[in-house]
Amino acid sequence: MSHFKDLIKDFDPITLDEMDEVKLMSRTDTKFAFSSAKLPQLLSRMLPFYRILNINNKLIHDYKSLYYDTSENKFYLDHHNNRVNRNKIRFREYVDSGLVFLEIKTKNNKGKTIKKRMKVKSISDKLNSEQQDYINKIIGNEISVEPKQWINFYRMTFVHKKQKERLTVDVDLTFSENDKKGDLKNIIIGEVKQERMSRSSDFMTIAKDLNILPIRISKYCMSTLSLHPNLKSNRFKPKVLFIEKLKNYNLN
């Protein structure tokens, strides 16, 4: 972790309160996955355009998430089968800000990601009646879900100085379910969040120059498949091969 701190200390800071103007709970997301070897040059070129979230003098923040799915892995399969109006359910702890939410993310048929959430005291491996009712209301029908896997990572959050745009850069990602474990520690997951899709993003321009191209990738789906390789996966094979290529890139 310490090697990332030197890369980001020169960014202008932004506070959580200032971030309220760019919550973007309804948004378009553009994701990127790339080798950690490209991060220093990427951050250096981002410096004039972005501010970085500072919470209690920390610029790299700890995120812990417990994902839920049905016993038949409906959310994983809906994503695999490219269904519209698909959902993901998770508890997420924003460790450095002391906040925990039950979050439901919906990808609608217009390509928008809509996030609804309720504040909770802590991450739980069992839903109470209020939480179950909230899930049923957001999804639109009664649904039985159970805890699946933990996904933990560290995040740097950037906000564009002029445009309504947020950017997250996730590092040191690990995942586990019972005694099964895995990681993507040498792979960076970036995500540009905008009100509507715009290629004028400075991050996208810089990323393209560094041959970092957009990819539709889900942390939950990739970790689920890694933990359960017998699940249906034919549509994810190009992404799995891409991830393996990135891992090998870091070994060279």
Q: Say whether pLDDT at 251 is over 80.
A: no
Q: Say whether pLDDT at 172 is over 90.
A: yes
Domain ranges of the chain: 2-251
User: Per the CATH hierarchy, to which homologous superfamily does domain 2-251 belong?
Assistant: Hypothetical Protein Pfu-838710-001 (2.40.320.10)
User: With contact defined as beta carbons under 8 Å apart, do 113 and 106 qualify?
Assistant: yes
Q: Say whether pLDDT at 143 is over 90.
A: yes
Owner of token pair 């100085």: 161
Q: Say whether pLDDT at 178 is over 50.
A: yes
Stretch among 32-36, 129-133, 175-179, 243-247 having the lowest mean pLDDT: 243-247
User: With contact defined as beta carbons under 8 Å apart, do 151 and 133 qualify?
Assistant: no
Mean model confidence pLDDT for the chain = 91
Q: What does the pLDDT look like over 18-47, one tens digit per residue?
A: 887 666 555 688 999 999 999 999 999 999
Q: What does the pLDDT look like over 182-201, one tens digit per residue?
A: 999 889 999 998 877 666 79
| Confidence at residue 20, expressed as pLDDT on a 0 to 100 scale | 73
E strand residue ranges, 39-85: 50-53, 61-69
Query: Among candidates 87, 107, 86, 80, which has minimal Cα distance to 235?
Result: 80
Q: What does the pLDDT look like over 46-97, one tens digit per residue?
A: 999 999 999 999 999 999 999 999 999 999 999 999 998 899 999 999 999 8
Q: What does the pLDDT look like over 121-138, one tens digit per residue?
A: 999 999 999 999 999 999
